[in-house]
Structure 1
Amino acid sequence: MLPSRGLFAALFVFLMGPYCLSQDSLVTVTAEKGDGILSLLRKQGANPYEMYDDFIAMNMENLRDSVHLYEGRTYRIPLSKVDSVIVVDTIAKRSKEIKKVVGKEFPIFGKKHAAVLPRSEKLKGAVYYLVSGHGGPDPGAMANYAGTKISEDEYAYDITLRLAKELLSHGATVYVIIRDADDGIRDERILKIDHDEVAYGDKTIPLNQVARLRQRVDIINELHRKNRGKFQRLIVTHVDSRSKGQNIDVFFYHHEKSKNGKKLAESIHKTFQKKYKKYQPNRTYTGTFEDRTSLYLVKKTHPAMTFIEIGNIRNKKDQRRILDPDNRQALAKWISEGVILDFEGGEIGPIR
């Protein structure tokens, strides 16, 4: 039986997308004190991670440093993709030819962020091992913010989870090597310090530094062996600690003899250069990518890899990049775009 005229109309709206609707259908909202992009979208009932890029593109002229809202200014809210899913769901009740797209749940991201909706298959067949620095008995670099202690491992972990979610949404297989069952993705500025992180396989993280690093190397290399023949990459995320006056950009390390590792680091670096040029044209991006084989994980792990330093946890300007959940999401998004760039022009190649 042929679909009804109403079904054809609904299908037209769904397939043409939100841009076939009039400008009058756009929602606008005034930013209040304390609002960020994520919180503003969430208050409007939109999925903040699905709508993040569209929001920035629509409101670029009203954003500070491309990611911060101005209190009292009016912003346009993109039409939620969730609305399209609802349309499809309604049609599906009348036609078995159309199916509702359903995401998967990943408890490690926390209750609010557990659902991962598929966005593309750009990374289908690729395997990524994500390691956030320190964890367990070692909080990593420490600093004070607003009278509270903050630690490297909590912020590196949050960015790593956000990156994992981005990669999963594009069809990748992802192993999160350092894990915390309680934390999930967090949208607070100050992330509470705890010591209950474990390594993949629920392994207790050793206190001794060499034992801790060796444990990670052994886990990664064993997984790499099991996934032999697949496109595999390792991404390690740290937050640096330098003098308070030293403001640094995001920079990347790779193994000096790894052609694929260098390509991965360079692809993410190029993405950051492009983003800074677009979103912060008055500021020069000074982050670099270079070999640093002296680092234990760079030297000992088998997959082609990049080691990322996000910023200086003791510097006030860098703290804004690290503490602001919008910034952490942007970092994860930009890294994921560099990862896609690497994969689309990648090759499996040898171990190094």
Structure 2
Amino acid sequence: MIFRVFHRIAFLLFFAIIGLAGYAQDSLTTVKAEKGDGILSLLRKQGMNPYEAYDDFIAMNMDNLRDSVHLYAGRNYFIPPVKLDTVAIVDSIQKKSTEIKKIETKEFSIFGDKHAAVLTKSEKLKGAVYYLVSGHGGPDPGAMANYAGKSLAEDEYAYDITLRLAKELLSHGATVYIIIRDPNDGIRDERILEIDRDEVAYGDKVIPLNQVARLKQRVDIINELHRKNRGKFQRLIVTHVDSRSKGQNIDVFFYHHEKSKNGKKLAENVHKTFQKKYKKYQPNRTYTGTFEDRTNLYLVRKTHPAMTFIEIGNIRNKKDQKRILVPDNRQALAKWISEGVILDYETGEIGRIR
């Protein structure tokens, strides 16, 4: 009996150490993608943390994906095996205990019932403070477009991506202020996001109709919070969706203050992350997104924290619409931005933009 137990332990440790390389493909679980499935939803159906398994899934199924990130309905896909925690296994053996290690989570109602729980992934961003602003909101929907007979509004998609980014940053220990807030939307997994006008600014402030008053309100909130958090690593991230001619397909691009060394560095680090991701997941196309200074934008010019202003794409272009319509794409955008933010923090400096 003792021999069999330790034989099993050795077996588990062996496979935990060798990881994916130790599995023959015919021993892996395969699942058929259904119409409407994305990578994240497919992994959720298997009871997995989709964000942790995402990169492994891509690596295992690269030749069976459209544009390196999208599933084909009706095709079978390999599901990554659950990675075993060798430290947890050894600890359990030593204590002769079957107790399951608790996973630390925190609840944030702003993300909605389905997404309220935030899993603690690391403390990489512990001590960092982030102000997240999604463009427009309240009486101003921002850029508008039509898709399949339905209206699309910039503020709804910028907000959804911002919430997903906030959740990613929180999972790595950051302090996050969501400046534009919707009391009931939360993170949504639909393609067409219903348009409403009930967004408020941080502190439950009513968003003004006048554009200058609206922008000034955001600047005042951010600068006051920046003052209260003086001495900490602080950054601002503003998210918008551009509007251009229908035929103009654009990649995600970034702005920063022309005199901000830290703002330029933040924009550059997120830009570098996007370059890396496109090279990995879409090797057959060139990423053309840019980062540059643009101080004539009100939020860029008036806010105190080092910042980057992100344009996600052209809401009127069919290819760019897919970037924001597909929930998995919105999650990938948030994940990639967060990875650039982590890179920036690990190599960054505390300070104002001036």
Per-residue deviation, residues 316-347 of structure 1 (Å, max 9, x unmatched)? 11101111111111111111111111111111
Q: 1:189 to 1:287 in 2, by over 3 A?
A: same
1:83 to partner: Cα distance? 10
Q: Report if the CA contact (8 A) 2:16-2:84 is conserved.
A: no
**Aligned counterpart, 1:181:** 183
Aligned 8 A contact 2:261 2:353 in 1:
no
Contact 2:305 2:351 in 1 (8 A): no
- Write out aligned runs for 1:330-349 (5 A): 330-349=332-351
Post-superposition Cα deviations, 1:183-214, rounded to whole Å, max 9, x if no partner, equal 11111110000111111111111111111111
Seen in structure 2, the aligned counterparts of structure 1 residues 226 and 9 have a Cα distance that, compared at 3 Å, is: farther
- Tell me, yes or no, if the aligned pair for 2:306 and 2:351 is still in contact at 8 Å: no
- Output the CA distance in 2 between the equivalents of 1:267 and 1:243: 29
Identical pairs, percent: 82
User: What letter corresponds to residue 78 of structure 1 in structure 2?
Assistant: P
- The one-letter amino acid of 2:311's match is E
Aligned residue type for 2:291? F
What amino acid does structure 2 have at the position aligned with 1:167?
L
Superposition map of 1:136-151 within 5 A: 136-151=138-153
Q: d(CA) in 1 for partners of 2:19 and 2:134? A: 38
Partner of 2:157: 155
The RMSD of aligned alpha carbons is 2.8
1:225-236 pair list within 5 angstroms: 225-236=227-238
* 2:337 partner letter: I
Quote the residue 1:44 is aligned against.
46
Q: Which residue of 1 aligns with 2:242?
A: 240
* Residues 11/107 of structure 1: CA separation in 2 closer, same or farther (3 Å cut): farther
Distance 2:65 2:164 in 1: 22
SS at match of 1:113: coil
C-alpha distance in 1 between matches for 2:85 and 2:30: 17
CA contact under 8 A between 1:141 and 1:239: conserved in structure 2? yes
What letter is aligned with 1:128?
Y
SS of 2:307 mapped into structure 1? strand
2:122 alignment partner in structure 1? 120
CA–CA distance in structure 2, aligned partners of residues 231 and 10 of structure 1: 45
Deviation at 1:30?
1.3
Q: AA paired with 2:156? A: E
Aligned position for 2:217: 215
Match for residue 298 of structure 1 among 285, 297, 300: 300
Q: Summarize deviations over 1:227-256 as a string: whole Å, max 9, x none.
A: 111110000000001111111111000000
For the structure 1 residues 326 and 232, does the alpha-carbon distance in structure 2 shift closer, same or farther, using more than 3 Å as the test?
same
Contact 1:237 1:308 in 2 (8 A): yes
Ranges in structure 1 where 5+ consecutive residues have no aligned partner: none
Please name the residue that 1:288 is paired with: 290
**Aligned residue number for residue 164 of structure 1:** 166
Moved more, 228-237 or 73-82: 73-82
TM-score of the pair, normalised by structure 2? 0.90
Aligned position for 2:327: 325
Aligned to 2:61: 59
Residue 70 of structure 2, aligned match among 68, 71, 92: 68
* Aligned-partner SS, 2:30: strand
Total equivalences in the alignment: 349
Assess if the C-alpha contact under 8 Å between 1:266 and 1:289 holds in 2. yes
Structure 2: runs of 5 or more not aligned: none
Contact 2:191 2:326 in 1 (8 A): yes
Q: Which amino acid aligns with 1:285?
A: Y
How far the C-alpha of 1:46 sits from its partner, in A, is 2.1
More displaced 10-residue stretch of structure 1: 252-261 or 282-291: 282-291
Report the alpha carbon displacement of residue 80 of structure 1 after superposing the two structures with TM. 4.4
CA 92–215 in structure 1, closer or farther in 2 if over 3 Å, else same: farther
Comparing 90-99 with 252-261, which one deviates more in the overlay? 90-99
| Structure 1 residues 48-99: Cα deviation after superposition (integer angstroms, max 9, x where no partner) | 2332222212211211122101122211112346999x98999899649984
Residue 31 of structure 2 is matched in structure 1 by: 29
Q: Which residue of 2 aligns with 1:199?
A: 201
Kindly indicate whether the alpha-carbon contact (under 8 Å) linking 1:91 and 1:98 is maintained by their aligned counterparts in 2.
no
State the Cα distance separating 1:9 from its structure 2 match: 6.6
State the 1:26 CA deviation. Answer: 2.8
Calculate the TM-score normalised by the size of structure 1: 0.90
User: Which stretch has the larger CA shift, 14-23 or 278-287?
Assistant: 14-23
The Cα shift of 1:17 comes to 8.6
In 2, Cα distance between equivalents of 1:287 and 1:94: 54
Partners of 1:38 and 1:257 lie apart in 2 by: 39
